[in-house]
Amino acid sequence: MAVTETERSAMRRALSIAANGPRGINPQVGAVILSPAGVVLAEGWHRGAGTPHAEVDALSKLTSDATRGATAIVTLEPCNHTGRTGPCAQALIDAGVTRVIYALDDPGAESSGGADRMRAAGIDVVSGVQSDRAHELVADWLVAHRLGRPHVTVKWAQSLDGRAAASDGTSQWITGPDARADVHRRRAEADAIVVGTGTVLADDPALTARDGDTLHPRQPTPVVIGSRPTPPDAAVHRHPHAPLFYDSHDLADVMADLGARGVQRVFVEGGPTLASAFIAAGFADTVLAYIAPVLLGGDRLALTDIGVGTIDDARRLQVQEWVPLGADLLAIAQPVVSPPEGS
């Protein structure tokens, strides 16, 4: 049976209300329940880990008689596993729903399979409706799910000869105002902004995302990594979000904890030591190199040791885009993934 315009309209509504849910360790999902005549009976969305999923949230607003023969419109394939909540696929079966339309397949090894379960129970299941919009909604969650950790962007600014600072340590400002504005815009897109204690002690950064003197509506949570204490009057303590401090050099543990907190996108803005540590650990999914047309010389390199002892070990990148920013140039690059041996 073809998807009707009423059902497509309901999917657009489901995608809209899905955004009411929080970004976090679970995806944002919306659901709309339609009567056999195409009348909207109920809506629901997922409100965070441990709460009812969108389908169950919508079903909970209806009597069992109302759900018999209904159609469920969902932005993600109803799950097929029992965690802190039960399987949504079974909840729809038990509710007597006879048709389910969803946008995206569930990528989880344990949670997928809901569509097959519902079809086996005699439900008419249609997938892929407005999948592009649904993918855009949960793109960050999908990336974090695939990686098993937050997505990491490592950023630095450098002179044309690869220096991050002059010989006396001064670095403000290597790049111009257009480049700095671009950095703040990208900060606002992240869930967390990460620096080392060395940067906090040397520069006392606020770690906010700003448009001129105005704070962006969305602010990343500040994260400070390192064993040296942060002064109580440091600017980071005045951030809109309470900072997270990690007295650790184990980036895998830090990333695991951030992921458990629902962080999906990490923006690393520490100095050369921290940037190099993330790259050496294999935690640089995107590199942003802001290149200024100045020469500084000296030994204040933008990166330090990243574990490359010979040219054959070079960490090769593929530049996705070159972006002119006033007099500066931004290189947006990602690691080159080597094909499996023998492929």
- pLDDT of 339 reads 47
Using an 8 Å Cβ cutoff, are 277 and 199 in contact?
Answer: no
Predicted TM-score (pTM) of this structure: 0.78
pLDDT band for position 343 (cuts 50, 70, 90): very low
Average pLDDT of span 180-186: 94
Structure tokens at 318: 């593929």
- Length, in residues, of the chain: 343
Gyration radius from the chain CA atoms: 24
Using an 8 Å Cβ cutoff, are 35 and 64 in contact?
Answer: no
The pLDDT tens digits of the residues spanning 120-168 come to 999 999 999 999 999 989 988 888 888 889 999 999 999 999 999 888 8
pLDDT band for position 338 (cuts 50, 70, 90): low
Average pLDDT of span 247-254: 92
- Rounded CA-CA distance 14/269 in Å is 36
The pLDDT tens digits of the residues spanning 304-327 come to 999 999 998 889 999 999 999 999
- Rounded CA-CA distance 13/30 in Å is 8
Check the CA dihedral 198-201-203-205 and report its sign. Answer: positive
Using an 8 Å Cβ cutoff, are 31 and 73 in contact?
Answer: yes
pLDDT band for position 51 (cuts 50, 70, 90): confident
| Neighbouring C-beta atoms of residue 335, cutoff 10 Å | 15
Using an 8 Å Cβ cutoff, are 36 and 270 in contact?
Answer: no
The pLDDT tens digits of the residues spanning 262-273 come to 898 999 997 899
The answer on pLDDT for 228 being more than 80 is yes
Q: How far is CA 120 from the centre of its chain?
A: 34
- pLDDT of 147 reads 86
Greater model confidence, 71 or 165: 71
Mean pLDDT of the chain: 91
- pLDDT of 340 reads 44
What residue spans define the domains of the chain? 5-143, 149-335
Greater model confidence, 213 or 330: 330
- Rounded CA-CA distance 254/224 in Å is 10
Catalytic residue among 7, 43, 55, 269: 55
The CATH number of the domain covering residues in 5-143: 3.40.140.10
The CATH number of the domain covering residues in 149-335: 3.40.430.10
Percentage of the residues of the chain whose pLDDT score is greater than 90: 71
The pLDDT tens digits of the residues spanning 281-298 come to 999 999 999 999 999 998
Greater model confidence, 216 or 111: 216
Catalytic site includes residue 7: no
The answer on pLDDT for 226 being more than 60 is yes
Q: Shortest CA distance to 77 belongs to which of 53, 97, 58?
A: 53
